[in-house]
Structure 1
Amino acid sequence: MNAPIRRLSFVVALLFASLLVSTTMIQFVFAKELNARPDNRRTLLSSYARERGQILVGDTAIAKSVPANNQYKWLRTYPGGAAYAHVTGYYSFYGAGGGLEQAENGLLSGSSDKLAFRRVSDLFTGRKTVGASLELTINAKVQQAAIEALDGRRGAAVAVNPTTGEILAMVSNPSYNPAPLAGHDLGKVDTAYKALNGNENKPLVNRAIGGDLYPPGSTFKIVTAAAALESGRFQPDSELPGPAELDLPQTTVGLPNIGNRACGPDDKTTFLHAMEISCNSAFGHLGLELGADALRDQAAKFGVGDQLSIPMRVTPSSVPAELNQPQLAQSAVGQYDVRVTPLQVAMFSAGVANRGTVMKPHLVKSVLSSDLSIIERAEPEELSQAVSPEVAAQLTEMMEAVVENGSGEPAQIDGVRVAGKTGTAETDRVQRAHAWFTGFAPANDPQIAVAVVVENGGDPDSEARGGGAVGGPIAKAMIEAGLQK
Structure 2
Amino acid sequence: MTRYMRRAAAICLVLLAALLVNAVRVQVIDADELNANQANRRPLIARYAAPRGNIVVGGRPVTGSKDTRQQLRYERTYHDGPLYAPVTGYSSQLYGDTLLEYAEDGVLTGTDPLLAPLPLWNDFNRSRRPGGTVVTTIEPILQGIAYDGLAGRRGAVVALDPSTGRILALVSSPSYDPGVLSGNSAEVMSQWQRLNGAVHQPMLNRAIRQTYPPGSAFKIVTAAAALDARVVTDPDARTDTPDPYVLPTTRTKLPNPVKGCKKASLAYAIQWSCNTVMANLGVKVGLERMLDAVGRFGFNDRGLRIPSRVAVSNFDRRMSVDQLALSSIGQFDTTATPLQMALVAAAVANGGELAYPYLVDRTTTRGGDTVRTTPRRTYQRAMNPATALELRRLMVGAVEKGTGSSAAIKGAVVGGKTGTAQHGLGNAGTPYAWFIAWAQHPKASRPAVAVAVVVEDAEADRAEISGGGDAAPIARAMMQAALRGAR
* TM norm structure 2: 0.89
Instruction: Give me the whole-angstrom Cα distance separating, in 1, the residues matched to 2:215 and 2:473.
Output: 18
Residues 261-319 of structure 1 deviation map (CA, whole Å, 9 limit, x = unaligned): 5434xx22111011000000000110111101111110100111221111100011110
Q: Is the 8 A contact 1:50 1:129 kept in 2?
A: no
Which residue among 284, 287, 295 is the counterpart of 1:289?
Answer: 284
Which residue among 215, 218, 221 is the counterpart of 1:223?
Answer: 221
Amino acid at match of 1:161: D
Instruction: Give me the whole-angstrom Cα distance separating, in 1, the residues matched to 2:240 and 2:472.
Output: 28
Instruction: Give me the whole-angstrom Cα distance separating, in 2, the residues matched to 1:224 and 1:243.
Output: 18
Q: Is the 8 A contact 1:431 1:456 kept in 2?
A: no
Q: Is the 8 A contact 1:400 1:443 kept in 2?
A: no
Alignment of 1:316-327 (within 5 A): 316-327=312-323
Instruction: Give me the whole-angstrom Cα distance separating, in 2, the residues matched to 1:443 and 1:284.
Output: 34
Residues 83-132 of structure 1 deviation map (CA, whole Å, 9 limit, x = unaligned): 001211111213532221111111111111222336988999xx983111
Instruction: Give me the whole-angstrom Cα distance separating, in 2, the residues matched to 1:293 and 1:50.
Output: 55
Instruction: Give me the whole-angstrom Cα distance separating, in 2, the residues matched to 1:36 and 1:275.
Output: 56
Counterpart residue number, 2:252: 253
Counterpart residue number, 1:209: 208
Q: Is the 8 A contact 2:113 2:122 kept in 1?
A: no
Counterpart residue number, 1:346: 342
Task: Tell me the SS of whatever aligns to 1:400.
Answer: helix
C-alpha displacement at 1:24, in angstroms?
Answer: 5.7
Task: Tell me the SS of whatever aligns to 1:143.
Answer: helix
- Of 18-27 and 214-223, more deviation after overlay is shown by 18-27
Q: Is the 8 A contact 1:424 1:459 kept in 2?
A: no
Which residue among 421, 439, 442 is the counterpart of 2:440?
Answer: 442
Instruction: Give me the whole-angstrom Cα distance separating, in 2, the residues matched to 1:312 and 1:285.
Output: 37
Task: Assess, with a 3 A threshold, how the Cα gap between structure 1 residues 338 and 30 changes in structure 2: closer, same or farther.
Answer: farther
Instruction: Give me the whole-angstrom Cα distance separating, in 2, the residues matched to 1:400 and 1:208.
Output: 25
Counterpart residue number, 1:332: 328
Instruction: Give me the whole-angstrom Cα distance separating, in 1, the residues matched to 2:379 and 2:49.
Output: 40
C-alpha displacement at 1:35, in angstroms?
Answer: 2.3
Counterpart residue number, 1:377: 373
Instruction: Give me the whole-angstrom Cα distance separating, in 1, the residues matched to 2:241 and 2:289.
Output: 22
Task: Assess, with a 3 A threshold, how the Cα gap between structure 1 residues 129 and 247 changes in structure 2: closer, same or farther.
Answer: same
Counterpart residue number, 2:270: 275
C-alpha displacement at 1:210, in angstroms?
Answer: 0.7
Alignment of 1:50-89 (within 5 A): 50-89=50-89
Instruction: Give me the whole-angstrom Cα distance separating, in 1, the residues matched to 2:120 and 2:68.
Output: 26
C-alpha displacement at 1:22, in angstroms?
Answer: 7.6
Instruction: Give me the whole-angstrom Cα distance separating, in 2, the residues matched to 1:189 and 1:119.
Output: 39
Amino acid at match of 1:238: A
Amino acid at match of 1:385: R
Instruction: Give me the whole-angstrom Cα distance separating, in 2, the residues matched to 1:324 and 1:120.
Output: 56
Task: Assess, with a 3 A threshold, how the Cα gap between structure 1 residues 331 and 410 changes in structure 2: closer, same or farther.
Answer: same
Using the aligned pairs only, state the percent identity.
40
Instruction: Give me the whole-angstrom Cα distance separating, in 1, the residues matched to 2:435 and 2:182.
Output: 35
Amino acid at match of 2:454: V
**Any stretches of 5+ residues in structure 2 without a counterpart?**
1-14
C-alpha displacement at 1:369, in angstroms?
Answer: 1.1
Alignment of 1:26-425 (within 5 A): 26-37=26-37, 40-94=40-94, 96-117=96-117, 129-183=129-183, 185-211=184-210, 213-234=211-232, 235-258=234-257, 261-264=258-261, 267-306=262-301, 307-425=303-421
Please provide the CA RMSD for this pair: 2.6
Counterpart residue number, 2:11: none
Instruction: Give me the whole-angstrom Cα distance separating, in 2, the residues matched to 1:480 and 1:36.
Output: 50
Instruction: Give me the whole-angstrom Cα distance separating, in 2, the residues matched to 1:305 and 1:37.
Output: 37
Instruction: Give me the whole-angstrom Cα distance separating, in 2, the residues matched to 1:456 and 1:176.
Output: 17
C-alpha displacement at 1:76, in angstroms?
Answer: 1.4
Residues 40-67 of structure 1 deviation map (CA, whole Å, 9 limit, x = unaligned): 4221111011221110012211112243
Task: Assess, with a 3 A threshold, how the Cα gap between structure 1 residues 459 and 64 changes in structure 2: closer, same or farther.
Answer: same
Amino acid at match of 2:429: Q
Amino acid at match of 1:233: V
Q: Is the 8 A contact 1:243 1:263 kept in 2?
A: no
- Of 312-321 and 94-103, more deviation after overlay is shown by 94-103
Amino acid at match of 2:175: S
Residues 424-446 of structure 1 deviation map (CA, whole Å, 9 limit, x = unaligned): 10002331100000010017630
Q: Is the 8 A contact 1:215 1:425 kept in 2?
A: yes
Q: Is the 8 A contact 1:162 1:353 kept in 2?
A: yes
C-alpha displacement at 1:449, in angstroms?
Answer: 0.3
Counterpart residue number, 1:4: none
Between the two proteins, the alignment pairs up a number of residues equal to 461
C-alpha displacement at 1:31, in angstroms?
Answer: 2.5
Amino acid at match of 2:398: V
Amino acid at match of 1:439: A
C-alpha displacement at 1:471, in angstroms?
Answer: 0.7
Instruction: Give me the whole-angstrom Cα distance separating, in 2, the residues matched to 1:427 and 1:112.
Output: 44
Residues 401-447 of structure 1 deviation map (CA, whole Å, 9 limit, x = unaligned): 11111111111111111100110100023311000000100176301
Amino acid at match of 1:144: G
C-alpha displacement at 1:374, in angstroms?
Answer: 1.6
Task: Assess, with a 3 A threshold, how the Cα gap between structure 1 residues 120 and 322 changes in structure 2: closer, same or farther.
Answer: closer
Instruction: Give me the whole-angstrom Cα distance separating, in 2, the residues matched to 1:61 and 1:131.
Output: 13
* TM norm structure 1: 0.89
Counterpart residue number, 2:478: 478
Q: Is the 8 A contact 2:407 2:414 kept in 1?
A: yes
C-alpha displacement at 1:245, in angstroms?
Answer: 2.7
C-alpha displacement at 1:226, in angstroms?
Answer: 0.2
Task: Assess, with a 3 A threshold, how the Cα gap between structure 1 residues 214 and 103 changes in structure 2: closer, same or farther.
Answer: same
Instruction: Give me the whole-angstrom Cα distance separating, in 1, the residues matched to 2:151 and 2:242.
Output: 38
Q: Is the 8 A contact 1:277 1:406 kept in 2?
A: yes
Q: Is the 8 A contact 2:51 2:65 kept in 1?
A: yes
Instruction: Give me the whole-angstrom Cα distance separating, in 1, the residues matched to 2:133 and 2:208.
Output: 23
Task: Assess, with a 3 A threshold, how the Cα gap between structure 1 residues 38 and 122 changes in structure 2: closer, same or farther.
Answer: closer
Instruction: Give me the whole-angstrom Cα distance separating, in 1, the residues matched to 2:40 and 2:122.
Output: 26
Q: Is the 8 A contact 1:448 1:482 kept in 2?
A: yes
